[in-house]
Amino acid sequence: MALKVIGAGFGRTGTASLKIALEKLLGEPCYHMSEVLGKAGHVDLWLEAAAGRPDWEAIFGGYAATVDFPACNYWRELAEVYPEAKILLSVRDVERWFQSTQETIFSKTLQELQSGTRWGRMIQATIDDHLSGAIDDHDAMVAAFNGHVATVRNAFGPDRLLIYEVSEGWAPLCEFLGCEQPDSEFPYVNSKEEFEGVFGLLRSPMGARVMNGEGIEASSLHDEMFH
């Protein structure tokens, strides 16, 4: 299965909501950071990708879409490998984005939990290094976010690229993908409060397995983390 949608938006731009929305619209799985943590061997696959030896089929086989870190940092390569795929750039107010990252994915708590683990090495190689390693530096992070948005925007025409905020709901997403709009409400998940459960999970025996790259059932992990 070839990717139909490549999510180029950084984490904390509504990517957990987009995973659920895209799976509903496409009727097929969407890759997300929860897949990296949940599937045995995927931490190592991303370490290989960061070293310039990607096996995209091994990572994305069976998925119709991808969103979130770390895949969003490889949007250019993926756009070439999957030339028919649409590019979905999720965005939000940059100040709110930075504040959200500091309370969740780039928090000191999470940095301490992942320090010295295989997952931590993967995060460093596929995410932090793409942000110049300055994940707690406000000005550097804002510049990285704005620069990323500008670069992606300039790389594609409107026929292939949608710049999107999840607050817009179903309409622009469905129009872009040529899908019928569902009757159900758009899935808004993964608030900062919901993310608190991640810290508890990663302190558990299950979390230790995740940090070592052993993986657990990805769908279970996503449910634990984002519902």
R_g of the chain computed on alpha carbons:
16
Cis peptide before 70 (omega within 30 of 0): yes
Could you give the CA distance from residue 81 to residue 214 in angstroms, rounded to a whole number? 28
Rounded to the nearest 5°, which phi and psi values hold at 7? -85, 115
pLDDT tens column, 79-135? 999 999 999 999 999 999 999 999 999 999 889 988 999 999 999 999 999 997 689
- If one counts the domains in the chain, the total is 1
Here the tokens at position 106 are 């780039």
| Across 15-29, 127-141, 184-198, 202-216, least confident range | 202-216
CATH code, 204? 3.40.50.300
pLDDT (mean) for 65-85: 98
Q: 10 Å Cβ neighbour count for 53?
A: 9
Q: What is the pLDDT of residue 220?
A: 46
pLDDT tens column, 183-195? 999 999 876 666 7
Q: Which long-range contacts (CB under 8 A, 24 or more apart) does 220-223 make?
A: 220/38, 221/34, 221/37, 221/38, 222/16, 222/19, 222/32, 222/34, 222/35, 222/38
Domain with 211 in it: 5-226
pLDDT category at 204 given cuts 50, 70, 90 is confident
Can you give the pTM of this predicted structure?
0.91
pLDDT category at 217 given cuts 50, 70, 90 is low
